[in-house]
């Protein structure tokens, strides 16, 4: 039965203190928990504690062992009917971490001989460690004592401040941790094993001395320096921009290669997927560096948005995730380029979130029901959630936003809050009513914004008419209008903003925000010259699809003249979309194609355009974005049409991009500064175009760069191009790469992922062979994502091969994976959601696959995804 938002009840029992003792072993761990319980609900209500897969060794209430008749155990947990209003419950349970392949609760990373023990509790993993009310609104203080063989487990970590360590009479090591901050159990963590450490001192703005430590296995510890620098930057930034200081004496991060997600913000003890923590110039791409910085910051920022103020229930997940993603976006923009960061975030939204919102798995940012909460760690909750926060921040302006956030922290520190609490704090601190934004949290689907402008020469007025429409989504047939903030400028023939008066603008301004609140509205600007073009939704001021009816010439004008970097890129994207539509319709000589090619290729000669932005301006939207323009969806046709655009641009730019590539890589030293990264991005793009213009010459250069470039960004980009264009040098280059990085799982994942995406039908056989390769391991989520999810989510040609071989391959893997790791299985299965949109041949095949899988699914997670996929 699903859990429903409207059925929320406050907990019947509070836990004031949790005293945990672990006797740790790879195959057997014993957990003693002493819970200080207090009745919070009506008298007579039984105590229920969640617990899954636990072997109960003993149980006692206030020191008295309970008789088997005094409690009830089932597969969900433990019930005690007769309870005093306050008591200390002591349970002792045993677990086997070595067999925990789901990677939730306490599990083993690596091999029994050399690996280490760690935990993952969010969302509902703590119930696999001990009996507890496993819900985020039960906040308690924790003391954790770890005991283990010091030879095997010299490092023993848990949340909070260190509170003593020593040797027991039996020779075992013990360490105690004391966390003074009340927390929900999903933030509990422990780590035990042989780990190396990198340490740095930090003093907060409030004067607290904090020791920062990053732990990793011996072969990885020298790759943690960049993460440490990023952590320091994030800590400072949160102090400066939100007035938030760190609140413990230590801050620890641990890296593991075995992790379902990106990272986890456990209080004072963040645990990271190694792929988002380790970085070094020889092996990491520029993208990797950016991801490490962003995710280190994201998890750190959770200390206030998530941990100090947590969520009342899992429906409120976006309260911490959307907000924290937004804070990370602000930080990353400040560390690098605001325009490029915005472009990347919008790309992610369009490639992952828009399709999610348009398909069978669509759900509101705040869902109102779930059967398996792990299936809601989605692009909608995270990334659309961040867009909602961005709209709120924009509505309040920088000072109002800070005032509102200060109020939110002041009101809810140490509490479990709701989206309503958040909007109330922000609004009341600024004396504005933000409750209208709740609809955004409650309503799924991407709104369509229709815009049309009209100039009245006689009255010198410009009227912008806006209309909104949201298509029905599963379970929501009728949609309400949303508040849509539209940031805009009106440009003259030289691209300069015209002074705006009227609408929401009082004094003349060059840019303003109008808010559409109803299904439609008109905004009139007065005393204005005729604009040459309207620049709408600047900075992507709302997560909508805009349809402004601009023709290719208007868009070309914006590409040439728009001063807002983001909207300049956006105009180039829209122009490419128009061209794509013509190609898809078979009109290969359409004017739009030529306008796109000539407009963006002309930018190559404009040395004022920053190289990384130029690379983006020269790139048509990703196939995943274009896919939605094809109805019914023919994946191969989408790939071919996009490739036609690429080739058209390549033909015109061939000689120029070859020369530019040469210049860009001539001075290349592998430095990490922004200008070097920017040049590498353009170099990659130039090589990609050159590869289409003159494959023979470009492949020779690519083969050299793949082997010899002094940075991983170029080596990987070159190798990818060789493989994806079937260059004769590809197989040898792939072999060299695999040999060179044989002992580095993170880099080898890149090798798996790039082959999974080779856009040729024969890639099915390659992926099947790689799955059978001894280096592949279905138990390792990173490898599963690298090979199988990259294939299913990104390979339009091979995964969607018309004979169904790609579907069969994934179906087969999913059956096996579900028994090992349901979280990973259901994330892989989410790639099947587009079946209904497919053209008939493929649709029949994929539907049959999904139906067989739904019948075979054993985990609630996979069953839930497939049931919704089919509904
Ligand atoms: N809270 C983590 C983050 O920083 C993600 C944890 C996801 N865990 C899960 N079981 N779905 O975003
Ligand atoms: Zn998060």
pLDDT at 716: 98
List of residues 6+ apart from 310 with CB closer than 8 A: 136, 139, 183, 184, 187, 320, 415, 416, 417
Could you say which of 122, 265, 293, 299 is catalytic? Answer: 299
Query: Is residue 508 exposed (0-12), middle (13-18) or buried (19+ Cβ within 10 Å)?
Result: middle
pLDDT at 813: 98
Q: Considering every ligand atom, which ligand is closest to the CA of 320?
A: 2
pLDDT at 1: 87
d(CA 110, CA 205): 39
CA of 301 to the centre of ligand 2 (A): 9
Supply the angle between the helices 635-666 and 695-708 in degrees, to the nearest 10.
60
pLDDT at 520: 98
Query: What is residue 360's three-state secondary structure?
Result: coil
Q: Considering every ligand atom, which ligand is closest to the CA of 781?
A: 1
Report pLDDT digits (tens) over 642-663.
999 999 999 999 999 999 999 9
Question: With DSSP H G I counted as helix, E B as strand and the rest as coil, what are the percentages for the chain, rounded to 5?
Answer: 45, 20, 30
Kindly report whether the peptide bond that precedes residue 632 is cis, defined as omega within 30 degrees of 0.
yes
Q: Atom 2, ligand 1: which residue's CA is nearest?
A: 264
What ipTM does the predicted assembly reach?
0.98
CA of 373 to the centre of ligand 2 (A): 15
- Report residue 246 CA to chain centroid gap: 24
pLDDT at 495: 95
| Nearest of 537, 367, 544 to residue 444 by alpha carbon | 367
Report pLDDT digits (tens) over 662-686.
999 998 999 999 999 999 999 999 9
Residue with tokens 């609004």: 427
Q: Which residues pair with 178 in a beta bridge?
A: 143, 161
Residue with tokens 């859990």: 3
Q: Are 270 and 248 in contact (CB under 8 A)?
A: no
pLDDT at 507: 82
- Cβ–Cβ contacts within 10 Å for residue 632, how many? 12
Which long-range contacts (C-beta less than 8 Å, at least 24 apart) are formed by 806-809? 806/764, 807/845, 807/846, 807/849, 808/849, 809/764, 809/767, 809/768, 809/771
The pick from 104, 122, 827 for probing ligand 1's pocket by mutation, whose C-beta has the most ligand atoms within 8 angstroms, reads: 122
CA of 303 to the centre of ligand 2 (A): 10
pLDDT at 667: 86
Supply the angle between the helices 674-693 and 712-724 in degrees, to the nearest 10.
20
pLDDT at 763: 98
d(CA 626, CA 618): 16
The pick from 188, 253, 264 for probing ligand 1's pocket by mutation, whose C-beta has the most ligand atoms within 8 angstroms, reads: 264
Low-confidence ranges of the chain (pLDDT < 70): none
Q: Are 717 and 679 in contact (CB under 8 A)?
A: no
Residues with a beta carbon under 5 angstroms from ion ligand 2: 321, 324
| Nearest of 256, 112, 110 to residue 777 by alpha carbon | 110
Q: Which two tokens stand for residue 408?
A: 């939110």
- Active site includes 321? no
Q: Considering every ligand atom, which ligand is closest to the CA of 319?
A: 2
């Amino acid at each position: 039965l699903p859990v429903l938002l409207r059925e929320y009840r406050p907990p019947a029992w509070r836990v004031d203190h949790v005293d945990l003792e672990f006797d740790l072993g790879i195959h057997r761990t014993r957990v003693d928990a002493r819970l200080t319980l207090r009745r919070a609900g009506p008298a007579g209500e039984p105590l229920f504690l969640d617990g899954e897969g636990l072997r109960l060794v003993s149980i006692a209430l206030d020191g008295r062992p309970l008789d088997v008749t005094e409690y009830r155990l089932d597969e969900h947990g433990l019930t005690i009917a007769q309870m005093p209003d306050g008591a200390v419950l002591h349970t002792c349970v045993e677990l086997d971490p070595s067999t925990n392949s789901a990677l939730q609760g306490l599990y083993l990373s690596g091999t029994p001989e050399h690996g280490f023990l760690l935990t993952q509790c969010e969302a509902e993993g703590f119930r696999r460690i001990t009996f507890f009310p496993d819900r985020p609104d039960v906040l308690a203080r924790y003391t954790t004592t770890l005991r283990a063989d010091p030879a095997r487990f010299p490092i023993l970590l848990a949340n909070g401040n260190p509170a003593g360590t020593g040797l027991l009479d039996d020779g075992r090591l013990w360490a105690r941790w004391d966390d003074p901050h009340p927390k929900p159990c999903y933030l509990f963590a422990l780590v035990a094993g042989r780990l190396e450490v990198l340490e740095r001192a930090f003093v907060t703005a409030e004067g607290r001395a904090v020791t920062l430590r990053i732990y990793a296995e011996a072969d990885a510890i020298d790759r943690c320096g960049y993460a440490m620098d990023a952590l320091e930057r994030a800590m400072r930034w949160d102090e400066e921009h939100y007035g938030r200081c760190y609140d413990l004496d230590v801050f620890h991060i641990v890296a593991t290669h075995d992790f379902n997600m990106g990272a986890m913000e456990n209080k004072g003890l963040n645990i990271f997927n190694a792929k988002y923590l380790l970085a070094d110039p020889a092996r990491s791409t520029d993208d990797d560096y950016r991801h490490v910085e962003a995710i280190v910051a994201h998890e750190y920022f959770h200390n206030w948005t998530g941990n100090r103020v947590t969520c009342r229930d899992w429906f409120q997940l976006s309260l911490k995730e959307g907000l924290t993603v937004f804070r990370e976006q602000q930080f990353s923009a400040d560390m690098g380029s605001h325009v490029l960061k915005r472009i990347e975030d919008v790309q992610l939204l369009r490639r992952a979130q828009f399709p999610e919102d348009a398909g069978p798995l669509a759900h509101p940012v705040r869902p109102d029901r779930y059967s398996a909460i792990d299936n809601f760690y989605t692009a909608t909750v995270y990334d659309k959630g961040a867009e909602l926060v961005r709209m709120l921040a924009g509505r309040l302006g920088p000072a109002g936003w800070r005032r509102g956030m200060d109020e939110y922290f002041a009101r809810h520190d140490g509490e479990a809050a709701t989206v309503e609490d958040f909007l109330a704090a922000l609004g009341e601190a600024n004396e504005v009513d933000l409750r209208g934004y709740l609809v955004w949290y409650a309503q799924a689907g991407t709104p369509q914004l229709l815009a049309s402008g009209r100039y009245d020469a006689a009255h010198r007025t410009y009227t912008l008419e806006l209309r909104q429409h949201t298509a029905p989504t599963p379970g929501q047939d009728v949609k309400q209008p949303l508040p849509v903030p539209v940031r805009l400028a009106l440009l003259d023939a030289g691209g300069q903003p015209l002074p705006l008066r009227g609408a929401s603008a009082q004094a003349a301004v060059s840019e303003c925000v109008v808010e559409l609140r109803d299904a439609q509205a008109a905004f009139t600007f007065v005393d204005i010259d005729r604009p040459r073009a309207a620049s709408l939704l600047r900075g992507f001021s709302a997560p909508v699809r805009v349809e402004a009816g601009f023709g290719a010439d208007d868009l070309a004008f914006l590409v040439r003249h728009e001063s807002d970097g983001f909207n300049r890129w956006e105009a180039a994207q829209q122009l490419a979309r128009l061209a794509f539509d013509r190609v898809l319709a078979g009109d290969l000589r359409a004017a739009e194609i030529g306008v796109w090619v000539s407009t963006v290729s002309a930018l190559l000669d404009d040395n004022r355009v920053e190289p990384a932005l130029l690379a983006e301006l020269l790139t048509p939207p990703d196939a995943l974005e274009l896919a939605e323009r094809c109805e019914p969806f023919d994946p191969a046709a989408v790939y071919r049409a996009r490739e036609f655009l690429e080739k058209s641009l390549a033909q015109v730019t061939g000689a120029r991009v070859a020369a530019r590539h040469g210049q860009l890589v001539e001075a290349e030293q592998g430095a990490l500064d922004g200008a070097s990264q920017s040049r590498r991005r353009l170099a990659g793009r130039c090589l990609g175009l050159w590869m289409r213009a003159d494959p023979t010459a470009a492949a020779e250069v690519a083969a050299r760069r793949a082997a010899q470039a002094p940075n991983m960004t170029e080596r990987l980009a070159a190798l990818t191009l060789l493989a994806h264009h079937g260059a004769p040098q590809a197989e040898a280059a792939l072999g060299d790469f695999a040999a060179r990085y044989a002992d580095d799982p993170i880099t080898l994942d890149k090798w798996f992922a790039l082959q999974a995406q080779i856009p040729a039908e024969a890639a099915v056989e390659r992926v099947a062979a790689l799955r059978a390769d001894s280096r592949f391991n279905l138990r390792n989520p990173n490898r599963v994502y690298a090979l199988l999810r990259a294939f299913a989510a990104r390979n339009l040609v091979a995964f969607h091969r018309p004979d169904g071989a790609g579907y069969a391959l994934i179906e087969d893997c999913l059956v096996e994976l579900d028994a090992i790791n349901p979280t990973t299985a259901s994330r892989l299965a989410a790639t099947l959601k587009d079946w209904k949109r497919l053209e008939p041949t493929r649709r029949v095949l994929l539907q049959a696959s999904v139906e067989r899988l739904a019948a075979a699914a054993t985990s609630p997670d996979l069953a839930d995804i497939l049931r919704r996929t089919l509904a």
